[in-house]
Structure 1
Amino acid sequence: MKKVILLFVLATLLVAGCGLNSEEGSGSSSADKANSSNVLRIGAQPYPLYASIYVAKEKGYLDEELKKVGATYEWTDFKSGPLVNEAVASGHDDIGFMADMPAILAKSSGQDIQIIADVAYGEKALALLAGPGSDIVSAGQLKGKKVAYGKGTYAQHLLALLLEKENLTFNDIQSVNIPAGDIPAALESGQIDAAVIWEPFISQLVASGKAKVIADGTGIKRGNLVTYAVKKYAEENPQIIAAYIKACQRASDYIKSNPKEAAELIAKDMKVDPLILEDTFKNLHYDQALTTEDVNEIKKVKDYLLQQKLIQNDIDMDSFINLEYLKEAGIGDK
Structure 2
Amino acid sequence: MHTLNNPRIIKTIVKATALAAAAALTLTTAACGLPSASIANQQSSGSAVKLRIGAQPYPLYSDVYVAKEEGYLNQELAKEKATASWDSFKSGPLVNEAVAGGNEDAGFMADLPAIIAKSTGQKISIVSNLAYGEKALAVLVPKNSTIHSVADLKGKKVGYAVGSYAEHLLALLLDKQGLGLSDVQSVNLSADDQVVALQSNSVDAIVIWEQYITKLKSEGAARVLADGTGIKRGNMVTYFTDDFASKHPAVVRAYIRAVQRGADLIASDPDKAANAVAKDFGVSPAELKEIWKNLTFTTKLGPADTKAITDVKDFAYKNGILKSDVNIGDLINTSYLQ
- Unaligned 5+ residue runs, structure 1? 1-28, 328-334
Q: 1:134 to 1:263 in 2, by over 3 A?
A: same
Match of 2:25 in 1: none
Match of 1:237 in 2: 248
1:173 aligns with 2:173: no
Match of 2:266 in 1: 255
Matched residues, percent identical?
52
Match of 1:213 in 2: 224
> What is the CA-CA distance between 1:302 and the residue it aligns to?
1.2
> What is the CA-CA distance between 1:62 and the residue it aligns to?
0.9
CA contact (8 A) 1:44 1:78 kept: yes
Q: 1:95 to 1:287 in 2, by over 3 A?
A: same
Query: Once the two structures are superposed, what CA deviation does each residue of 1:167-222 show, in whole Å capped at 9, x if it has no partner?
Result: 11223222222221112222222222211110100000011111111110010001
Distance 2:159 2:84 in 1: 37
Secondary structure at the aligned position of 2:135 is classed as: helix
Distance 1:207 1:62 in 2: 33
Match of 2:308 in 1: 297
Distance 1:235 1:255 in 2: 31
Distance 2:44 2:222 in 1: 46
* One-letter code aligned to 1:155: A
Distance 1:66 1:306 in 2: 37
> What is the CA-CA distance between 1:274 and the residue it aligns to?
2.4
1:312 aligns with 2:323: yes
> What is the CA-CA distance between 1:77 and the residue it aligns to?
2.0
1:41 aligns with one of 32, 52, 56 = 52
Match of 1:135 in 2: 146
1:67 aligns with 2:78: yes
> What is the CA-CA distance between 1:35 and the residue it aligns to?
12
Query: Once the two structures are superposed, what CA deviation does each residue of 1:87-144 show, in whole Å capped at 9, x if it has no partner?
Result: 2222222111011111111112221110000111110000011111123222122122
For the pair shown, the structure with the greater C-alpha radius of gyration is 2
Distance 1:235 1:275 in 2: 41
Distance 2:106 2:280 in 1: 19
Runs of 4+ that moved beyond 3 A: 33-37
> What is the CA-CA distance between 1:229 and the residue it aligns to?
0.2
* Equivalence map 1:1-334=2 (5 Å): 38-327=49-338
* One-letter code aligned to 2:254: A
CA contact (8 A) 1:123 1:283 kept: yes
Larger displacement relative to structure 2 (135-144 or 196-205): 135-144
The size of the alignment, in residue pairs, is: 296
Secondary structure at the aligned position of 2:198 is classed as: helix
CA contact (8 A) 1:259 1:281 kept: no
* One-letter code aligned to 1:109: T
- Unaligned 5+ residue runs, structure 2? 1-38
Using structure 1 for the length normalisation, give the TM-score: 0.84
Distance 1:203 1:111 in 2: 34
Larger displacement relative to structure 2 (279-288 or 82-91): 82-91
